[in-house]
Structure formats: structure tokens, C-alpha cells
Structure 1
């Protein structure tokens, strides 16, 4: 029996700086990903969010499962800054995680600096 193409969740199993962003995606670890990404202690994941997607706490479930290893969450909200939902901010505060929404470009730059400093940082980055 022939098997079709298997579509798997996009995942890079490690931490890596973001080498480039724009044109609807990101480049890291000599690879490229089209679309938004989550950069977590467990790796970099594809994230099904666009600049038009309402930011809801449920979109951050994967982040909340790793809060024991995260002190800072940078949220790149696209070209413009959008506020984080109140229930997400409350959940992050309860887990002792500082969160900061900013443009995606600023979040990428800040993430790279904090990662280079070996800080406990994660990023949720909306593709631009």
C-alpha cells in the first residue's frame, strides 16, 4: 500500500538565533520557515498565527507548558504592537514570566541578544 505525503508539525529541536526575518517568514540554523514561529526552550515551532489573527491565550498553550524554563516572553506582534490578552498576562505573571509585546523586528533583535546572554527567554513571533 503506497503512503502519501506525511505532513508533520514544523519543529527545530534546539535553540538558535534568528538570522533573518521578512517576506512572510524567518531564517534560523541555516534553514528557513514560512509563517510565524514560537522559539521555546524545547525548540523552534511553526505557529499558526498571522498579523490578522486575534491574539488569544489559547494560542500560547505551548508557551505556558514550558514556563518553568522561561523568565521572559517576547511577543513580536507583526508590524504594529498589539496588546496581549488579559488572561494570558495573568497566566504568565502567575508563572513568574515577564511578557513584552513589540513589533516583530524589535522582538527578533531582543531575542537574539538575550539568547546570546544565555537568558531564559522565549519568543512568539508573527511573520511579517
Structure 2
């Protein structure tokens, strides 16, 4: 699916997605990644959803977003509350949804000027 660009001039936005890939500001990615308005971090959580580690969640918390969107892949899967504890402790809002929904929601929140980070599982 192709996504129309929201009003987030000069920021990283999801421009398309499909099974096995997402596109950020016109650049296609087929591996898990983290996207913020000012940076794209490819190679996030090489173990996929099942291999997600606390240290990787702590690194997301260190980015200090207002909201973290966790795109869990093609299917909705929810990680254990213990795994998300570093985000809760840092008082960061967490929303878990399938990856397609996370891409759409990220663009909306970014266009609203929110400090949002999307951690995306691509499968």
C-alpha cells in the first residue's frame, strides 16, 4: 500500500508498506528497524518479535519519546509486561499493534508534532 505524505516536512515518514517490507521517506527496508522523525535505525532486534530482549527495549526508552509504537509484524502480538517495564518506568506511552497500523499511526502522530518512535518488526 502506498501512503500519502503527511505534513511532516523534512522528517522520516512511512511512505509505503507491504508484506516483508516498509518504506521510510522513499527508502525500502526489509529488516526490522526503529524510526523517529530525525533518524532511522536499521537492524533492530535481529531475533524478531520472539527474540525481543529487555536491552533493546531499554535502548528505545533511552530515546525518550512521548509515545512508542511497537509494530509486531503481520499479526498482532503483545509482549510481556516485564519486557515493556523500562518504558513504563520512564513514563513513556506504549501502543502495540500490527506493523501496518503502526506505520499509519506513526505518520499521524508525527504530523501532529508528537515525539513518536516506531519500533517495527518486518515479516
Q: TM-score, structure 1 length as denominator?
A: 0.76
CA separation of 1:97 and 1:126: change in aligned 2, threshold 3 A: same
Counterpart residue number, 1:60: 57
Counterpart residue number, 1:113: 108
The runs of at least 4 aligned residues of structure 1 exceeding 4 Å deviation read none
CA contact (8 A) 1:19 1:27 kept: yes
Q: Which has the larger radius of gyration?
A: 1
CA contact (8 A) 1:18 1:26 kept: yes
Q: TM-score, structure 2 length as denominator?
A: 0.78
Q: Across the two proteins, how many residue pairs are aligned to each other?
A: 113
Gaps of 5+ in 2: 1-9
Gaps of 5+ in 1: 1-13
Q: What RMSD, in angstroms, separates the aligned Cα atoms of the two structures? A: 2.1
Counterpart residue number, 1:3: none
Structure 2 residue 70 is matched with structure 1 residue 94: no
Give 1:43's match in structure 2, choosing from 39, 43, 48.
39
**Superposed CA offset, 1:52-104 (max 9, x none):** 5333322223312212xx11111000111111232332211111101111111
Quote the Cα distance in structure 2 between the aligned partners of 1:41 and 1:65.
Answer: 15
Quote the Cα distance in structure 2 between the aligned partners of 1:15 and 1:48.
Answer: 23
Quote the Cα distance in structure 2 between the aligned partners of 1:42 and 1:85.
Answer: 29
Counterpart residue number, 1:31: 27
